[in-house]
Amino acid sequence: MKISVIGAGSFGTALAKVLADNGHEIHLWSYEKETADEINQNRINSIFLPDIVLPVNIVASSSLEDVLKGSRFVLSVVPTQVVSSVWENGKNFLEKDAILVSASKGIEKKTHRIVSDILEGILGADWKPNLAYLSGPTFARELAMKVPTAVTIAGYDESRIQEIQKIFHNEYFRAYGIHDVVGVELGGALKNVIAVATGVSDGLKLGYNTRAALITRGLAEIARLGVAMGAQPMTFMGLAGMGDLVLTCTGDLSRNRTVGIKLGQGMTLKDIMSEMKMVAEGVPTTESAYELSRIKNVDMPITEAMFRILYENKDPKDVIKDLMSRKLKFEHDH
């Protein structure tokens, strides 16, 4: 089967490799023509996934029309902040009966939309049964190396979810189905904010106690916002919630944690971002999540603390002190 993968970053390339390993004909869209040429000529994506040899059944292109034409299964793995622009164009080449799975994790700036809202707004309500959302604890490099990995597929139509599960499934990649699209999307987006926070803690060398507290209380505020937006609480106990949160907050491959570490060590956000080749979704998502928490009147102190550091240039040490000096409360208070 021809499968289109939109986005040749590290995660998009790794997921393309999973699908290629399953014997499918993969057409991979890259925004950078140089990346597409390198994949086709050398079987390597040196910028986003170096040292991983890609299968010959992955063909890359910088033409969205060529990649999407005739494809019934489409995987979208572009940064959240460009989902709208990519699919306003891509919808013109999308087959009418195609299944579209998004693996982007974030919240759009200014509009505060999660990816499902963006795609449904662009494609229309009739597309909902054919839309699904992939999330869970996945580092692209480990996935590309065939390290056993489990994710969640959220969607509206059970038969479509099951079809997607089968397309992805192999001996090292397992997908669980769920109907809570909002919960899965928010879990995947907001864990990046908490990962920046734990990175700041690690950069300040505050220790494992602090890291554990940030992860646990971070999950609490993720769930509070999720429930306020209609998500199921148990979703945040699963792969797209706790699973992804723990991985991103503790793993050395986490871009968002790395941003936090450098902030804790005294670097400015501008300097950090200028030396990064890949997108750290937690940075724009922090702003969106902070604004969303104010709109929904949901208490999210860690998210607010990260907003103060990232966008108001507050000293991380002072922000941690402020967190610790907040009014005492019971653990399950809202």
Residues labelled catalytic? 191
Task: Identify the bridge partners of residue 131 per DSSP, sorted by sequence position.
Answer: 100
**Whether the Cβ atoms of residue 123 and residue 90 lie closer than 8 Å to each other:** no
- Non-local (6+) Cβ contacts of 273 within 8 A are 259, 280, 283
Phi, psi of 93 (to 5 degrees): -115, 0
Compute the distance between CA of residue 191 and CA of residue 236 in angstroms, rounded to an integer. 10
**Cα–Cα distance list, 252 to 50, 113, 199, 244, 314 (Å):** 17, 29, 10, 14, 25
Environment class of residue 321 by beta-carbon count within 10 Å: exposed (0-12), middle (13-18) or buried (19+)?
Answer: exposed
- HSE-CB at 123 with a 13 A cutoff on CA atoms is 26
**Whether the Cβ atoms of residue 26 and residue 16 lie closer than 8 Å to each other:** yes
**Whether the Cβ atoms of residue 172 and residue 146 lie closer than 8 Å to each other:** yes
CA 237 to chain centre: 17
Environment class of residue 330 by beta-carbon count within 10 Å: exposed (0-12), middle (13-18) or buried (19+)?
Answer: exposed
**Whether the Cβ atoms of residue 191 and residue 249 lie closer than 8 Å to each other:** yes
Phi, psi of 229 (to 5 degrees): -100, 10
